[in-house]
Amino acid sequence: MSEEKKLSHVTSEGKVNMVNVAEKQITLRYAVAKAIVDLPPQVVERLTQNNFQVAKGSVIQTAIIAGIMAAKKTGELIPLCHPIGLDAVNLDIQINENQLVILSRASVHAKTGVEMEALMGASVAALTIYDMCKALSQDIVIKEIKLMEKSGGRNDFKRES
């Protein structure tokens, strides 16, 4: 019989708590998150004509920097996340028809995983794209922010798409 899964941030008494990782081993933790930003065709056309430059600057480069900064601040923004010193955070943003596809990768040698940092990076990069493009249209949709992969902890995970 398989082990029943329990919420890690809730005690048996139903109280919120931060997971104690004191007894865990330090391992290489890695995670990849993905976000998709749907853009109206006229916005894509305008962006590609101007090499993704808008009045506020480079949409892609600004989103990458924002995503990296956000991943580094995850422990400050998500109440029960452990603050960790990331070894690396990388964001890649590609255009796919009328979508910008964001991949956020985070890694660390630690006692706890980095999926929240990868998800935070992808989320804030998507929000930054919205912010920089909203003057062109508010018909921008951020969707499918999801964990694609994680490894190095008790349970590895990999999603195909």
Q: What is the pLDDT of residues 77-91, one digit of tens each?
A: 999 999 999 999 999
Q: How many CA atoms lie within 13 A of 103 on its CB side?
A: 10
Round to whole Å and give the CA distance between 123 and 118: 9
Q: Is residue 88 part of a domain?
A: yes
The three-class DSSP label of residue 30 is strand
pLDDT at 56: 86
Q: Which residue type is seen at 127?
A: L
| 24-72 pLDDT tens trace | 899 999 999 999 999 999 999 999 999 999 888 999 999 999 999 999 9
Q: Is residue 27 part of a domain?
A: no
Q: Is residue 67 part of a domain?
A: yes
Q: Is residue 17 part of a domain?
A: no
Q: Which residue type is seen at 153?
A: G
Number of domains in the chain: 1
Q: How many CA atoms lie within 13 A of 109 on its CB side?
A: 1
**Residue 146 maps to which CATH number?**
3.30.70.640
The pTM score is 0.91
Active-site pick, 38, 131, 139, 156? 131
Annotation marks residue 131 as catalytic = yes
pLDDT at 1: 46
The three-class DSSP label of residue 127 is helix
Q: Is residue 3 part of a domain?
A: no
| 119-128 pLDDT tens trace | 999 999 999 9
Confidence class for position 2, pLDDT limits 50, 70, 90: low
Q: Which domain holds residue 131?
A: 39-158
